C-alpha cells in the first residue's frame, strides 16, 4: 500500500486550497466534489504540474515537494490521464503507446518499465487499434490508448482527471470495466478525480470529499455514501448504500448474490459464479414490511433490523437497516412510519425490486 502525505496551501485569485491529509492508497481513491472544489488543482499539485503551491508532498519515502525542493513531473514516476486523452495526432496508436515506453526508459535502467507492452495491449483490448491514428478513434478508444500510454511510463501512481467527462453514456459504459480492473491488473494505486457520484460508487474503494478548497470528509466509499451529513455533496436523491456480494448462481439473465445467509436476485448479463460484484441499493427503492409478505412480484425480501430512524424532510424519514451485517437504507413516508409503528431495534423485512438493481448508464449531469 502506498502512502501520500499532503500539507499544502495554494491561492489563485479568490480561490484557496488547503489540504493536510495522509492518504493510504490502494485500489482507486476518488477525489470527489462539485466543480471548483479544487479536485484538479490538487491532482496537478501531486503531479508536479502546479508549481504555485506551498508546503509538502510526500509519496512513500520520497519528498516530491518541500521548502527548497520541487521534484519535476517527469521524475515523480506518475502516469497522468487527462480529460481529453491528449494523444499525439501524428503517431498511430502503437507509436503513442511506445512513447510511454521511451519515457520510462529515459528515467534510467533501475526504473525501466516493469509493465510490458503486450500486457497493456491485451488488458485494454488495443490490438485492433495499433495501426490507426487518433483521429479515427472514438472518444472511449482514445482514452483507452491514453491509459495504456500512461501505464507504459512505468508509474508508481496513476492520476486520472475526469477521464470520462467528455464521453457519452455508451462510451462511458464501454470504458468503465477497463478502469475498474487497473489496480489489480497492474498493481498500482489510482487517484481518480470526478464529479460523478455514480463513478465513485462503481469504481472507488476510498473517497475524499472536497468542497471550497477543503477536505470535508473521507473514508471507505460505502461508509461515506451512506452518511446523511454528506448528502449535500453526494446527493439526497441518489442516497443509498453499497453492498458487495458473490455470485453463487446465474441463469436466464438473473444472478443470485450471496449476502451472508440471504440472497439477492439481480439482473446481470455477465455474471460468472464466484464473481464478486458491487451493488448500489438506493434508499428510494427499498420498501418495508413488518410481516413476511405473500403474493408479490418483488424478488428480494430480506430479513432486517432497524438500526436508526432519521427524519430528514417534512414528508420522509430515512431508515438504516442491518441485513446480515451489512447496511441498507430505506426512505419511507412519515405516514408509513406511523402506521407501521416502526422503531429502532425492530425486526422487519426489506423489499427490493430486482429491476431496481439493474445495471444502468452513468450520467454526470444529475
CATH number at 329 reads 2.40.50.100
Among 264, 202, 200, smallest CA distance to 233 is for 200
DSSP state letter for 84: T
- Evaluate whether residue 62 is within a structural domain: yes
**pLDDT per residue over 268-289, tens digit each?**
766 788 888 888 899 999 999 9
Query: Which residues, including other chains, have CB under 8 Å from residue 68's CB and lie 6 or more apart?
Result: none
Asked if 25 contacts 6 with a C-beta cutoff of 8 angstroms, the reply is no
Is residue 52 within 8 A of residue 12, CB to CB? The reply is yes
C-alpha cell at 143: 482514452
Which of 185, 206, 234 finishes a domain?
Answer: 234
Tell whether 362 is covered by a domain.
no
**Better pLDDT: 253 or 65:** 65
Cβ atoms of residues 49 and 78 within 8 Å: no
Q: What is the mean pLDDT of residues 339-349?
A: 97
Largest Cα–Cα separation, the chain: 72
Query: Do residues 247 and 202 share a domain?
Result: no
287 and 197 together in one domain: no
Q: Which uninterrupted H or E stretch holds 265?
A: strand 262-267
Report the pLDDT value the prediction gives residue 357, as an integer from 0 to 100: 80
State the CATH number of the domain containing residue 20. Answer: 3.40.50.300
Among 234, 260, 293, the domain-final residue is 234
Q: Using CA of residue 277, residue 278, residue 283, residue 285, what is the dihedral sign?
A: negative
pLDDT value, residue 47:
95
In a domain, 97, yes or no: yes
Q: Is 310 helix (H, G, I), strand (E, B) or coil?
A: strand
Spatial distance between the Cα atoms of 135 and 286, rounded to a whole number of angstroms: 46
Which residues have a Cβ under 8 Å from the Cβ of 281 and sit 6 or more positions away?
240, 241, 242, 243, 328, 329, 352, 356, 357
Give the pLDDT confidence score for residue 365 in this predicted structure: 39
pLDDT confidence of residue 362: 46
Please tell me whether residues 160 and 247 are part of one structural domain.
Answer: no
The conformation of residue 132, written as its DSSP 8-state character, comes to -
Looking at the structure, do residues 87 and 22 belong to the same domain, yes or no?
yes
DSSP codes, 160-193: EESTTTTS-HHHHHHHHHHHHHHHHHH---EEEE
What pLDDT is recorded for position 114?
65
b/e code 154-181 from CB counts within 10 Å (16+ = b): bbbbbbbbbbbebbeeebbbbbbebbee
User: What's the whole-number average pLDDT of the chain?
Assistant: 89
Residue 73 and residue 197 share a domain: yes
The answer, yes or no, to whether residue 300 has pLDDT greater than 60, is yes
- Locate cell 451485517: which residue? 325
Lowest average pLDDT, out of 24-33, 64-73, 183-192, 246-255, goes to 246-255
Q: Are residues 263 and 303 in the same domain?
A: yes
**Are 144 and 222 contained in the same domain?**
yes
The predicted-structure confidence for 17-57, as pLDDT tens digits, reads as follows 999 999 999 999 999 999 999 999 999 999 999 989 999 99
Is the domain of 230 the same as that of 319? no
E strand segments, 113-232: 157-161, 190-194, 206-211, 214-220
Give yes or no: residues 141 and 269 share one domain. no
Model confidence at 113: pLDDT above 80: no
**Of 176, 204, 234, at which residue does a domain stop?**
234
Q: Tell me, yes or no, whether 211 and 253 share the same domain.
A: no
* Contact predicate 15/37, CB 8 Å: no
Nearest CA to 206 out of 31, 21, 18 is that of 31
Give CA separation, 114 vs 2, 74, 101, 145, 153, in Å: 17, 17, 10, 18, 9
Q: What pLDDT is stored for residue 109 in this prediction?
A: 42
Band (pLDDT 50/70/90 cuts) for residue 363 is: very low
Reply yes or no on whether the pLDDT at 7 is more than 70: yes
Q: Report pLDDT digits (tens) over 147-199.
A: 999 999 989 999 999 999 888 888 888 899 999 999 999 999 999 999 999 99
pLDDT range class, residue 358, cuts 50, 70, 90: low
Residue 364 inside a domain? The answer is no
Which set of grid coordinates corresponds to residue 272? 460468472
Mean pLDDT of 290-319: 92
Looking at residue 55, what is its pLDDT? 97
Other Cβ atoms within 10 Å of 263 Cβ, number: 17
Q: Do residue 167 and residue 47 come from a single domain?
A: yes
Q: Which three cell numbers stand for residue 122?
A: 491485451
What dihedral do alpha carbons 35, 36, 39, 44 form, nearest 10°?
A: 130
Q: Which residue has the cell 497522468?
A: 80
Q: Determine the angle formed by the axes of helices 139-152 and 93-105, rounding to 10 degrees.
A: 20
**224 and 287 housed in the same domain:** no
Q: What's the structural domain count of the chain?
A: 2
Query: CA 142 to CA 85: how far, in whole Å?
Result: 6
Residue numbers of the domain that contains 301: 240-357
Amino acid at each position: 500500500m502506498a502512502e501520500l502525505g499532503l500539507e499544502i496551501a495554494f491561492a489563485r485569485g479568490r480561490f484557496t486550497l488547503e489540504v493536510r491529509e495522509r492518504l493510504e492508497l490502494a485500489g482507486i481513491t476518488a477525489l470527489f466534489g462539485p466543480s471548483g472544489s479544487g479536485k484538479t488543482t490538487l491532482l496537478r499539485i501531486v503531479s508536479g504540474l502546479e508549481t504555485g503551491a506551498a508546503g509538502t508532498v510526500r509519496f512513500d519515502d520520497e519528498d516530491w515537494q518541500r521548502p527548497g525542493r520541487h521534484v519535476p513531473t517527469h521524475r515523480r514516476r506518475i502516469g497522468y490521464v487527462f480529460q481529453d486523452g491528449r494523444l499525439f495526432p501524428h503517431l498511430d496508436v502503437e507509436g503513442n503507446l511506445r512513447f510511454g515506453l521511451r519515457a520510462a526508459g529515459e528515467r534510467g535502467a533501475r526504473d525501466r518499465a516493469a509493465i510490458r507492452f503486450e500486457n497493456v495491449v491485451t488488458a485494454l483490448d488495443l490490438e485492433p487499434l495499433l495501426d490507426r491514428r487518433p483521429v479515427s478513434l472514438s472518444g472511449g478508444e482514445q482514452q483507452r490508448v491514453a491509459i495504456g500510454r500512461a501505464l507504459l511510463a512505468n508509474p508508481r501512481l496513476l492520476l486520472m482527471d475526469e477521464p470520462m467527462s467528455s464521453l457519452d453514456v455508451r462510451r462511458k459504459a464501454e470504458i468503465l470495466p477497463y478502469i475498474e480492473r487497473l489496480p489489480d491488473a497492474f498493481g498500482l494505486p489510482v487517484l481518480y478525480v470526478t464529479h460523478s457520484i455514480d463513478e465513485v460508487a462503481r469504481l472507488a474503494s476510498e473517497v475524499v470529499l472536497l468542497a471550497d478548497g477543503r477536505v470535508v470528509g473521507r473514508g471507505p466509499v460505502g461508509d461515506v455514501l451512506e452518511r446523511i451529513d454528506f448528502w449535500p455533496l453526494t446527493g439526497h436523491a441518489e442516497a443509498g448504500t453499497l453492498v458487495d456480494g458473490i455470485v453463487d448462481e446465474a441463469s436466464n439473465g438473473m444472478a443470485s448474490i450471496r449476502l451472508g445467509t440471504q440472497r439477492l436476485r439481480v439482473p446481470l448479463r455477465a455474471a460468472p459464479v464466484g464473481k464478486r460484484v458491487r451493488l448500489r441499493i438506493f434508499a428510494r427503492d427499498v420498501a418495508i414490511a413488518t410481516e413476511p409478505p405473500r403474493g408479490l412480484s418483488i424478488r428480494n425480501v430480506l430479513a432486517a433490523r432497524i438500526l436508526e430512524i432519521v427524519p430528514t424532510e417534512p414528508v420522509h424519514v430515512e431508515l438504516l437497516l442491518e441485513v446480515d451485517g451489512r447496511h441498507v437504507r430505506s426512505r419511507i413516508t412519515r405516514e408509513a412510519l406511523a402506521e407501521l409503528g416502526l422503531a429502532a431495534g425492530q425486526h422487519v423485512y426489506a423489499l427490493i425490486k430486482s429491476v431496481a438493481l439493474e445495471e444502468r448508464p452513468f450520467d454526470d449531469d444529475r
